[in-house]
């Protein structure tokens, strides 16, 4: 009987193969027509700031040529991560992590002087959005010990229209979702230990702190997740 229950509530090879299918389909959907949607102004700003460029130097009092207009969207390998951070301090209000990762990402695919395409810039968000599929599967499994719940969560993440929409924007939302999932996983594990009258381990505390720090370094609204987790600890802890 115990063996039967263990089999029922364990991750099987079939479950992992199904998860790979959801991940593959989710990635395909996110990469499909990635550059078809018109660029939003906020995406253009994200790309420019990620390259360490600003937009204040573009003249607005006279006619300019296309090269001048697109100059902030060209990769300059001489500009490093510190310059990216300084540019954000000067012209933006966002934390730097996603912009640093975008700078690293475009540096993999492009060479000095290349114009950053929407496809390259958006593909990083698509990758993060795809990683959220196994991430939410793992969270569903940790929280409920149910293959059904884990697969339903993965399917919803893979095919969510809004999730796909966010994954096709050169913005930091899908990375934030990853940190939220990771932080909630830490919360679930901590609550289990507390309910068992066991101390939360040092490694779990450190991982939780690091994940939360990375979340805040990606999007300031991540603090809403921390607020919700604090409430959960008070109510269920």
Residues 178 and 112 in one domain: no
The tally of domains found in the chain comes to 2
Specify if 226 maps to a domain: yes
Q: What is the DSSP string of 212-230?
A: HHHHHTT-GGGHHHHHHHH
Last residue of a domain, one of 116, 140, 155: 116
At residue 11, the pLDDT reads 86
At residue 8, the pLDDT reads 52
Domain extent, residue 98, equals 41-116
At residue 237, the pLDDT reads 78
Contact between 114 and 74 under an 8 Å Cβ cutoff? The reply is yes
Specify if 155 maps to a domain: no
| Burial bucket for residue 79 (CB in 10 Å: 0-12, 13-18, 19+) | middle
Last residue of a domain, one of 96, 116, 136: 116
DSSP 77: T
At residue 9, the pLDDT reads 61
Contact between 237 and 199 under an 8 Å Cβ cutoff? The reply is no
Last residue of a domain, one of 87, 116, 145: 116
At residue 131, the pLDDT reads 99
At residue 1, the pLDDT reads 41
At residue 6, the pLDDT reads 47
Specify if 48 maps to a domain: yes
Specify if 54 maps to a domain: yes
Q: What is the mean pLDDT of each run of 10 residues along the chain (237 residues)?
A: 51 95 99 94 97 91 91 97 97 97 98 97 98 99 96 98 97 99 98 95 98 99 98 92
């Amino acid at each position: 009987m115990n063996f039967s229950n263990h089999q029922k509530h364990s991750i099987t090879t079939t479950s992992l193969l199904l998860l790979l299918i959801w991940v593959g389909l989710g990635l395909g959907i996110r990469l499909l027509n990635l550059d078809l949607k018109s660029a939003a102004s906020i995406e253009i700003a994200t790309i420019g700031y990620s390259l360490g460029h600003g937009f204040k130097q573009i003249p607005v009092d006279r006619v300019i040529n296309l090269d001048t207009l697109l100059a902030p969207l060209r990769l300059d390998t001489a500009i490093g991560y510190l310059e990216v951070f300084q540019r954000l301090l000067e012209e933006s209000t966002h934390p730097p992590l996603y912009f640093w990762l975008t700078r690293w990402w475009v540096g993999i695919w492009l060479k000095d002087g290349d114009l950053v395409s929407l496809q390259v810039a958006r593909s990083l968000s698509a990758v993060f959005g795809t990683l959220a599929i196994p991430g939410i599967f793992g969270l569903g499994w940790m929280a409920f010990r149910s293959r059904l719940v884990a697969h339903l969560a993965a399917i919803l993440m893979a095919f969510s229209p809004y999730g796909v929409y966010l994954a096709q924007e050169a913005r930091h939302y899908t990375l934030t979702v990853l940190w939220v999932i990771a932080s909630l996983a830490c919360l679930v594990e901590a609550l289990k230990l507390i309910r068992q009258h066991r101390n939360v381990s040092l490694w779990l505390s450190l991982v939780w702190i690091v994940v939360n720090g990375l979340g805040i370094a990606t999007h300031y609204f991540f603090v809403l997740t921390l607020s919700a987790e604090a409430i959960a600890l008070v109510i269920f802890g």
